[in-house]
Structure 1
């Protein structure tokens, strides 16, 4: 997969290292020449360019990329990069970093954003997830509310323990995508049993979240 990352600060570099470790082709776009350090991210292609400038993105041939990640520390810049990537270059997937949670409402498809990642919100969600057994915790929003990544931790004494995944009766448009058990990530199969303490991760529209929580806890 070919990925362009706008912004080569600490966040952009960290993302690049992870993606390169997964054998992806990564290009870092950085507008400040003094921030360019080829040795800092081995395997990445560095380009001195302002990703908010259309001419620079044309020179980088952004239309050839599968994913664009707007990872600068400036929300305005991330929105501009996202909009250009989607509308001018038809990039299939645009991921944008939200620095200030107050701006999160802007990061939707109107600005070309497919996935908005808000570090403060994720940290808050992880805290909630650590202390809220039985509660539904929203981890991430896709396409500004069309679907959410949510998690429910089953109580240890759940009556559903030992029953297979296929017995779960889920609301329409909700899908179980992973079971976290101890240090394992399990891709659920119909006959896999559910256990007390499992963390169940779903993709679901916001309007069925309450029904999803009720269905899981009443199973």
Structure 2
């Protein structure tokens, strides 16, 4: 799934983090070069600097092939233009936008290409849920908002965890395996599930580092 997030403020950054953790191919468009660079260092997402309401830049961001566009800038005018371009010009299947000023809420409808309009006061979880309809993404968002890291690690043929059930895999304290992605599909991490080379684990933790998670399975 391909997603474009317009705006890399606190809201846009959180959305990008959660979508990336949920295995979306994420591109973030941000005007501020410093903010874009900072987010690019923290997250495994593609960053573009510029105005997302520019149709050429939006096309460069991948709008022709995007499954989802979320407009999260601090300006309603920009969010409306991004939404209209995404839906009418590029035919993006799902478009969500944040409403900063409630007096403008009446504009955020299908005429402007908005499938899901979420007021600024609405919890971020609701915006993601409206935009994606994915309950697993919402669960990841709850963890992210609570200060819990979502870390991805893969099982290789050389991993000591390969061929072992999850019950025998000891994770660092404060960490838990949220899902096992096999052949592109998430699987419930039951104790008897035997790990195979090629499996990818999504681990949530509030204490362990990425290196400690990798070391537990490699």
Tell me the TM-score normalised to structure 2 length. 0.54
Number of equivalenced pairs: 127
What is the rounded CA distance, in whole Å, between the counterparts of 1:21 and 1:98 in structure 2? 25
State the match for 1:155 in structure 2: none
Q: CA 1:39 to 1:90, structure 2 compared with 1: closer, same or farther past 3 Å? A: closer
The residue that corresponds to 2:208 in the other structure is none
Change (3 A) 1:58 1:41: same
Q: Does 1 or 2 have the higher relative contact order (CA < 8 Å, sep 6+)? A: 2
Following TM superposition, the consecutive aligned residue runs of length 4 or more in structure 1 with deviations greater than 3 angstroms are 38-41
Aligned counterpart, 1:180: none
CA distance in 1, matches of 2:67, 2:115: 13
- The structure with the larger Rg is 1
1:20 shift after superposition: 1.2
CA distance in 1, matches of 2:17, 2:41: 9
Q: How far does residue 121 in structure 1 lie from its aligned partner after superposition?
A: 4.7
2:86 corresponds to 1:85? yes
Deviations 1:93-117 (A, max 9, x none): 0000111111111100000000001
Residue 57 of structure 2 is matched in structure 1 by 56
In 2, are the aligned partners of 1:8 and 1:29 still within 8 Å (CA)? yes
Tell me the equivalent position of 2:20.
20
Q: 1-side partners of 2:31 and 2:72: how far apart?
A: 13
Distance in 1 (alpha carbons) for counterparts of 2:79 and 2:45: 20
RMSD across aligned positions (CA):
2.3
C-alpha displacement at 1:119, in angstroms?
Answer: 2.9
Residue-by-residue CA offset, 1:105-154 (whole Å, 9 max, x unaligned): 1100000000001132559xx9xxxxxxxxxxxxx989xxxxxxxxxxxx
Gaps of 5+ in 1: 127-139, 143-219
TM-score (norm 1): 0.54
Unaligned runs of 5+ in 2: 132-218
**Does the CA contact (< 8 Å) of 1:16 and 1:41 recur in 2?**
no
